[in-house]
Structure 1
């Protein structure tokens, strides 16, 4: 009898512990959503009503573009080479090697170029924003700006978000061009294609409907990277370890959201 009562008490205790944990997690989740909404509203209100820091915006555009060009160049060439080398044997079996430039170009413009570029920028730019703003939060530089009547949202966050929103599409177009060039190099490993012939065959297949939706979604990719990176850094904790946590969390969250945004964009494009 005593054993049954003990088992029943233990089960009740486990259920209460589970309910308490679920309540804490649920409360934290909804508080997080409220913080994000407040953060977005604050950015929008400051963007509309406050003076725009154009010099800081240009500085961030240079930082994002200049520091990413080398990595994007290497990645773009590798994407083109890999797609071409992997696809060629299957097309050879069907005697359709002439379709290879067009197939690779469509793949790069529609999906590979935008998504791979965005993921790389999420790792490089998002982590940089999270670490930089997190360091400023830990060293109380953001608090000092608020005390000195300098708006940190207007000076730190809005230029970074806008710079990421503008530069990610430009980096994507650059990656697409480099990827096409890498594909031409890859196809010349086994065949003999002039660059003009390769481009003619590639762009005879690529249309406006392939390029325009892909470019539009890269603006959303850039906004996601900028917003997430700045949010994680701006709301970092006070300890020194929070800088690493903010940078890591910015990369993981931004990468996940990029995949979600891409899924939504693909569904919308498919309906049009």
Structure 2
């Protein structure tokens, strides 16, 4: 029996959408199970402190330069752009508040997260993916070492703890960048700018940014470990896993940024 071309023309997009949906659900379920398994190893001994400390230093210390430069220039750009818009309505005095709130609540966590995702997420995925395709993960089993406990759990905790530290530094440097531009280029009086900054920011604003940072750090480490751990196909597979880790982490960071912002929106 010959198929009707018109029917196939209508059903093919539906079938493709169905396959894409099933694949998305399958990957989401696998990622959720992977995350739960990794978290379960955090509360079951032994815990590999040496791997945790090495991961913490790699994420927090070696990511600091790129995060710091990004924050400083972002704060300066916010000050300049705010002045351009607010000068039309003669409300330049609000620039200090705009800079500190934008940096502390949004740009600090998001930009730091994206920078770390590009640097650390890719490195984690490449390292674990190389161990997978060279059978080093299988070798861990022969040494009576659980790869999830040795490779994944310490990195999840390190990512969750390192990002709030980086974001706190980014917040300070971002506000200082806006302060430097405002006082040297836009003619603001330093004392008045500092007072306006402290009047604008509240403890909840800092808390929201740090909560975002912890979630972002967990997501970056999770996706870096997951894509590396599940990579296949030699060097090509490792490269694909690295790309997938960075892209998926960046997308999930922005999605969770909206969800957390919406959660605290009425506060």
TM-score using structure 1 length = 0.89
Q: Partner of 1:229 in structure 2?
A: 224
- With 29-38 and 143-152 compared, the bigger mean Cα shift is at 29-38
CA RMSD of the aligned region, Å?
Answer: 2.2
Q: Is the 8 A contact 2:38 2:156 kept in 1?
A: no
TM superposition shift of 1:140? 1.1
Distance 1:260 1:19, change over 3 A: closer
Which residue matches 1:121? 116
Match status 1:249 vs 2:249: no
1:70 aligns with 2:99: no
SS of equivalent residue, structure 2 residue 200: coil
* Distance (whole Å) between structure 2 residues aligned to residue 30 and residue 48 of structure 1: 28
Q: CA, structure 1 residues 242+201, in 2 after alignment: closer, same or farther (shift >3 Å)? A: same
Structure 2: how far apart are the matches of 1:100 and 1:254? 32
CA pair 88-34 structure 1, distance change in 2 beyond 3 A? closer
CA distance in 1, matches of 2:148, 2:225: 10
Any stretches of 5+ residues in structure 1 without a counterpart?
Answer: none
Other structure's SS at 1:236 match: coil
Q: Partner of 2:201 in structure 1?
A: 206
CA distances 1:199-226 after superposition (whole Å, capped 9, x unpaired): 2221111111211122112111111111
> What's the CA shift string for 1:132-182, capped at 9, x where partnerless?
111111111111111221111111111111111001111011011111111
Highest CA radius of gyration, 1 or 2?
Answer: 1
Q: 1:184·1:193 contact (CA, 8 Å) conserved in 2?
A: no
- Secondary structure of the structure 1 residue equivalent to 2:265: helix
Structure 2: stretches of 5+ with no match in the other structure: none
